[in-house]
Structure 1
Amino acid sequence: MSIAKGDTDLAAHKVKVIKLSGNLNSTNSQEFRQNITQFIENGAKIVLVDFQDVTFMDSSGLGALVLAFKTLKAADIKLVLCSINEQVRILFELTNMDKVFEIFPSQDAFNREQRDLVRSDKKSAIVKNYI
């Protein structure tokens, strides 16, 4: 598994991206957890894990994701996922983790929703200031 880190075009909103590739399993789940810890230290508000290039995930990978979710939630950071493949989707459904994690079809879909939220927040602020 390889991990690429970066920001989305919504970097001003402290969105950090982890782009995984290959397998997420017992061999590399520790590396994934270490990367999550760095995002807490870097002041992220949202961590997006992009699964587009992940070919396989086992129970250890799922455990690493659940631990990351709990760790980030304790630090008031939101963890979201995108671009999961069929094998990962089935694993999530069998374990009911699809109800725990917010999952977007793609990174673009996540970015669109975030932009819409920012726009609606700005409109709400304008209305409040007007009233």
Structure 2
Amino acid sequence: MREQVKVIKLSGNLNATTSQEFRQNITDVIENGAKIVLVDFKDVTFMDSSGLGALVLAFKTLRAADTKLVLCSINEQVRILFELTNMDKVFEIFPSQDAFNQVLLSKT
């Protein structure tokens, strides 16, 4: 059986203003019963500490619901923020959505 994957595509800035909408997306995903949530950062241009906090909260919330959170397509600014905070060790990050799909398909 193939696991249910929900893709959340973010765009623009992930900050205090936009993180509330992101948290609502996570709540919706839990209610719909996805087993894996892939957050696609391809169109994200900037993320600050509020955005990072929203991601950590989402990670904890999803883990409690037995759902895995993975990220893909992060840009250089986001990657540096992850490395400075050691969050690159916490989150599973794929170079692209295609790379994620290939790994997922290889497990089925």
Amino acid at match of 1:111: N
**Please, what TM-score do these two structures have when normalized by structure 2?**
0.98
Q: What's the counterpart of residue 70 of structure 1?
A: 60
Cα deviation, 1:37-93, whole Å, max 9, x if unaligned, reads: 000000100000000000000000000000000000000000000000000000000
Q: Give the gaps of 5 or more residues in structure 1.
A: 1-11, 119-131
Give yes or no for the alignment of 1:28 onto 2:9: no
RMSD: 0.6
Distance 2:56 2:40 in 1: 15
Q: What's the counterpart of residue 8 of structure 1?
A: none
SS for the counterpart of 2:17 is coil
Runs of 4+ in 1 over 6 A off after TM superposition: none
Q: What's the counterpart of residue 39 of structure 1?
A: 29
Give yes or no for the alignment of 1:87 onto 2:80: no
Task: Kindly tell me the number of residue pairs found equivalent between the two proteins.
Answer: 107
Shift of 1:21: 0.5
Answer 1 or 2: higher relative contact order, Cα 8 Å, separation at least 6.
2
